[in-house]
Amino acid sequence: MGLALLDSSIVIGALSRDDAIHEAASRAVRAERDRHALAISALTYAEILVGPLRAGGRAVAVVERFADQVRIADLSPDIARLAAQLRAARGLKLPVAVTVATGLRLGADVILTADARWKGIEKVAVVDGR
């Protein structure tokens, strides 16, 4: 079994029924879960908690249940260096570079996002929410 790294756009979309890409993100996460172990970066974990912490109530518990079911990869110096290299060479925003670097260093089979601007990046698959 391989590994699929999930970007925050996919996780937020899958967890939030009100999100425009909810159905597509949910299908994509289920499909990857059937083929691969799932992982997120520590940065993604922080990003997916922001909205629920603002909203309060059960939203945080939903994210925590999800987080308990995936691997959360720490930001190591090796990942940070690769992220810097990706940012320098490709002009990626730092959160994107950290996510991609995490996936590459973990040896992910796929890095899943809903952000079309990631097209053409190694290992990245873009989920179309339409």
The four Cα atoms 9, 55, 40, 71 give a dihedral, to 10 degrees, of: -150
Alpha helices (runs of H) in the chain, residue ranges in sequence order: 8-15, 22-35, 42-55, 59-68, 77-90, 94-106
pLDDT in tens, 77-129: 999 999 999 999 999 999 999 999 999 999 999 999 999 888 889 899 999 87
- Please tell me the predicted confidence (pLDDT) of residue 128: 86
Provide the token pair at 65: 């249940």
Number of domains in the chain: 1
Helix (H, G, I), strand (E, B) or coil at 100: helix
pLDDT in tens, 6-30: 999 999 999 999 999 999 999 999 9
Residue 35: count other Cβ atoms within 10 Å of its Cβ: 12
Domain that holds residue 91: 2-126
- Please tell me the predicted confidence (pLDDT) of residue 99: 96
CATH at residue 13: 3.40.50.1010
* Residue 1, pLDDT above cutoff 80: no
Cβ burial, residue 2 (10 Å; 0-12/13-18/19+): exposed
CA distance to 21, 83, 105, 119, per residue, from 78 (Å): 32, 9, 8, 24
Confidence of residue 56 (pLDDT cuts 50, 70, 90): confident
Cα 78 from Cα 82, distance rounded (Å): 6
- Please tell me the predicted confidence (pLDDT) of residue 130: 63
Residue that is written with structure tokens 């925003």 in the block: 93
- Please tell me the predicted confidence (pLDDT) of residue 57: 81
Cα 42 from Cα 74, distance rounded (Å): 5
Confidence of residue 3 (pLDDT cuts 50, 70, 90): very high
Task: Name residues whose C-beta falls within 8 Å of residue 107's C-beta, 6 or more positions apart in sequence.
Answer: 3
